[in-house]
Structure 1
Amino acid sequence: MYISMSDRKGGQQDLQETDGRAALTAFRLSPVIIWLGIVSMLTDISSESAAAILPLYVTGFLGLSTIAFGVIDGINQGASAIVRIGAGWVSDRTGHPKRVAVAGYGLSMAARVGFLFAGGFWAIAGIVTGDRIGKGIRTAPRDALISAAAQPEYLARSFAIHRMLDNIGAAAGPLIAFLILMLIPNGFNTVFVVSLAFAAIGVAVLVLVVPDKIKVTARRAGATSRPAFRWYRLKWTYLKKQGLGRLVAVTGLLGLLTIGDGFVYLLLQNREAFAVQWFPLLYVGTNVAFLVFAVPLGRLADRWGRVPVFLAGHVALLVCYVLAVLPLGGTAATLGCLLLLGVFYAATDGVLSALVSQLAPPERLGTALGTAQTVVALSRMAAAACFGLLWYLLGPGAAAACVAGLLALAVPAAAVVLRGSAGRPVAP
């Protein structure tokens, strides 16, 4: 029986149009995404090599208290939140996300210089603040560049490849710091010099190689000027469309129950009592798991649906909490926690950016990405502070069990709230 093309499209167009387009479109990875991944890899080698030795440097070499380090770690978690929305807005307003990203990467590089001369609490706190503000400035414009360069039907996979390269650096950084300290006892300044070198190379690659993709696209399309800017575009109510408001609200709720890697590692150390000098290698394990699973889970998100993969990542986090609390012990339990923590990041980090990119209007993409990233940073900063208090009041095991119980309730609630949101499969 003959069925015309118009009949084929009639009743199933809404459900199959995107799938049909994806089936005819082969995946092509833009060189822009590869170069941005290399920039992030170099920058993460820089930042994570310094971060891995910071606890020992502050409390051991400088002789500051753990309270002082707690304040510095809080700055490390949340300082970037104060500029993320603004940086995304400036990216949208100017139409030059690369310039905004260069400013952020450059600020973080400049902060690295300070580590070579810092000698007290205020100096270290100022350097960490500058570094994290630089991270807050660069993240949304960088993700806007990735979104502009990626094929819409393969957004999650494109972000996953970027995050995989990023986490090669995140795994290599602590390993480099560990090896330097093994070869040069108290060689903290050597680590900081290496950190600065990688940051400078990353900025150079961004400036010299990465194009301002959004600007180039506009020129190719024949655009002669940007649309007139309206202040209402900065308002949250203007962004709260097509499920974006629900997505950001759920992200904030789940972020409040994400206690952070450091506390998970402290739980493991509290149970296993391994030597302190091996502590940085826990970061390596998590980041190796992240980079191994980033691309497979990104592909799965494009095929199965981005919301289900995002929520499944939080289920992995829940199992990680349970495994860290149970009195199982041994190397297998520790490796299991690191594996699950890596799966959590692989299933949520790039996938969240892909979801926001899918929902946000193109002219407000940077602002939307900055908003989501700000909510993540603030909620996780609050989670760290609250969990530290719970640890003090209830003890480590009871505190982690409490958070695990709340997360077990939050994930099904999040699934209900996000039901019908974007994130259905779009790739074959």
Structure 2
Amino acid sequence: MGFLRGFREFWIEQSRNFKVFLVRDTITTLFGNMAGSYASIYMYALGASAVEIGALSSTLSLVRTLLSIPGGILTDRVKRIKRLYLVGRLVQLPVSLVQAFAQNFNIYFYSRIWEVMTFRVTMPTANIINIASLRNEDRVKGLVMRRTVISAVGLVAPLIAAYAVTYFGGLDNPSAFRPLFLIQFLVGLIIFGILALGLEEPEFDRSKPEPNIFKATFGIINQVPGLKMLLLLTAVRTFFINIRMPYIQLYAKEIKNADAFIIGFQGTISTAVTLFFSAPLGELADRVGRRKLAYASQLVMTACLLAAVLTPPEHPEWLLLYSFLASLGGAMDIGWFAFEQEYVPLSIRGRWSGLSTLVTALIGIPAPYIGGLIWEYNPDLL
């Protein structure tokens, strides 16, 4: 527990932006993404088939592909990162409201497209603000603090959402999910006010603008050694995540007979693992090396997939073991996450975000559709 000592002093020493983003993440975890665990079930209740759910994910990947390079160039060339980030958050606000009142899958479909379009503004700018808010020597401890705090307040959020869904009609009733989207909209308004009043403009060295946008984007892989391998690793991981991601909750409900409370407890277990294991694993990453811990995390992730497949439908509570292992594997990735933040310079972070999004989005276009076809053949193969 020595890694936890001095957190108070650490907090005092950190930048204003680090503190504001921690407040943002805490509120978002508690109330700002209550419908997230039920997205595929909500789409199913609105009339979407498994293939249509996969088609939505593929379409979103196509949108990310088209906007990846323009978004990256815009981020690296704009002078006021904070203003661009706030503009993106502002135009993103109506999404939850539209989703709350969606009467069919088509309306939900287009709201998700609009959401992804705004993400191409908010994500790279938020990454720059976030990364610039911590010194490299403080990065692992800062990431541990963020994970620990948001996990502590997020322990009850999945259960609150599960109770709300059950109270308003259950998993098969689209109206049961609508209050969750309304809460997300109100929370989004509050967070926007906190960000607008609290954030400061990040300061960092900028590179000289390259007039040729394709050379400016693809040229960065030759500026920093190892970026090609990092890009390849990101692409491979994205493919295997995307073929199953749209179907995780649907798999739990339709194949393993999980109810709203089991799905809710899955979220609670994930949060608890992050809460109690982030600090020890952060200390372990600094002691044994970040890459070694990242390698070990892949073994844990393999075990978690086996736990999901081997869960008998008559005992869906065994899915809680899957959640435990999946969260443990994710927590073990903290060292690699810190390494990736440090490795890519802030001066090319926008273009790196655009390039990595382009590659992963191109892979993500067919991946969910392939996942849908696999689902139709045998869901366990996902």
Q: Into which bin does the TM-score normalised by the smaller protein fall?
A: 0.7 to 0.9
Letter in structure 2 aligned against 1:33: F
| Aligned 8 A contact 2:165 2:260 in 1 | no
| Aligned 8 A contact 2:30 2:154 in 1 | yes
1:39 paired with 2:24, answer yes
| Aligned 8 A contact 1:157 1:298 in 2 | yes
The answer for unaligned runs of 5 or more in structure 1 is 1-25, 219-225, 401-428
After the TM superposition, which residues 197-346 of structure 1 pair with which residues of structure 2 at under 5 Å, given as runs? 197-214=186-203, 228-231=208-211, 234-240=216-222, 241-258=224-241, 259-261=243-245, 263-269=247-253, 272-275=256-259, 278-326=262-310, 330=315, 333-346=318-331
Q: CA RMSD in A?
A: 3.4
| Aligned 8 A contact 1:87 1:100 in 2 | no
Paired with 2:359 and 2:32, the residues of 1 have a C-alpha distance of 22
| Aligned 8 A contact 1:157 1:302 in 2 | no
Identical counterparts, % of pairs: 19
Highest RCO, 1 vs 2 (Cα 8 Å, sep ≥ 6): 2
Alignment match, 1:49:
34
Paired with 1:109 and 1:165, the residues of 2 have a C-alpha distance of 25
Paired with 2:144 and 2:72, the residues of 1 have a C-alpha distance of 21
| Aligned 8 A contact 1:118 1:124 in 2 | yes
Greater CA drift, 177-186 or 270-279:
270-279
SS in 2 for 1:128: helix
Paired with 1:385 and 1:378, the residues of 2 have a C-alpha distance of 13
The superposition leaves residues 76-125 of structure 1 with CA deviations (integer Å, 9 ceiling, x where unpaired) of: 67755554554343222124322232233223212122224432232211
Structure 1 residue 194: Cα displacement: 0.9
Are residues 305 and 318 of structure 1, via their aligned partners in 2, closer, same or farther at CA, if it must alter by over 3 Å? same
| Aligned 8 A contact 1:83 1:133 in 2 | yes
After the TM superposition, which residues 25-424 of structure 1 pair with which residues of structure 2 at under 5 Å, given as runs? 28-45=13-30, 48-60=33-45, 62-75=46-59, 79-80=63-64, 82-165=66-149, 173-185=157-169, 186-214=175-203, 228-231=208-211, 234-240=216-222, 241-258=224-241, 259-261=243-245, 263-269=247-253, 272-275=256-259, 278-326=262-310, 330=315, 333-348=318-333, 351-372=335-356, 375-376=359-360, 379=363, 382-393=366-377, 395-397=378-380, 399-400=381-382
Paired with 1:294 and 1:190, the residues of 2 have a C-alpha distance of 32
| Aligned 8 A contact 1:38 1:165 in 2 | no
Structure 1 residue 197: Cα displacement: 0.7
| Aligned 8 A contact 1:49 1:191 in 2 | yes
| Aligned 8 A contact 1:264 1:324 in 2 | no
Are residues 35 and 83 of structure 1, via their aligned partners in 2, closer, same or farther at CA, if it must alter by over 3 Å? farther
| Aligned 8 A contact 1:87 1:141 in 2 | no
Structure 1 residue 164: Cα displacement: 4.8
Letter in structure 2 aligned against 1:342: S
Paired with 1:287 and 1:74, the residues of 2 have a C-alpha distance of 28
Structure 1 residue 277: Cα displacement: 6.3
- TM-score computed with the length of structure 1 as normaliser: 0.71
Paired with 1:188 and 1:383, the residues of 2 have a C-alpha distance of 27
The superposition leaves residues 346-388 of structure 1 with CA deviations (integer Å, 9 ceiling, x where unpaired) of: 333x555533332223311232244345545554564433333
Paired with 1:345 and 1:378, the residues of 2 have a C-alpha distance of 24
Greater CA drift, 153-162 or 204-213:
153-162
Structure with higher Rg: it is 1
- TM-score computed with the length of structure 2 as normaliser: 0.79
Alignment match, 2:4:
none
Are residues 332 and 281 of structure 1, via their aligned partners in 2, closer, same or farther at CA, if it must alter by over 3 Å? closer
Paired with 2:104 and 2:184, the residues of 1 have a C-alpha distance of 20
Letter in structure 1 aligned against 2:71: A
| Aligned 8 A contact 1:53 1:177 in 2 | no
The superposition leaves residues 204-245 of structure 1 with CA deviations (integer Å, 9 ceiling, x where unpaired) of: 11111121122xx67xxxxxxx66422366232323322121
Structure 1 residue 182: Cα displacement: 3.2
SS in 2 for 1:118: coil
SS in 1 for 2:103: coil
The answer for unaligned runs of 5 or more in structure 2 is 1-8, 170-174
Letter in structure 1 aligned against 2:37: A
Residue-pair matches, total? 362
Paired with 1:391 and 1:64, the residues of 2 have a C-alpha distance of 14
Structure 1 residue 40: Cα displacement: 3.0
Are residues 57 and 247 of structure 1, via their aligned partners in 2, closer, same or farther at CA, if it must alter by over 3 Å? closer
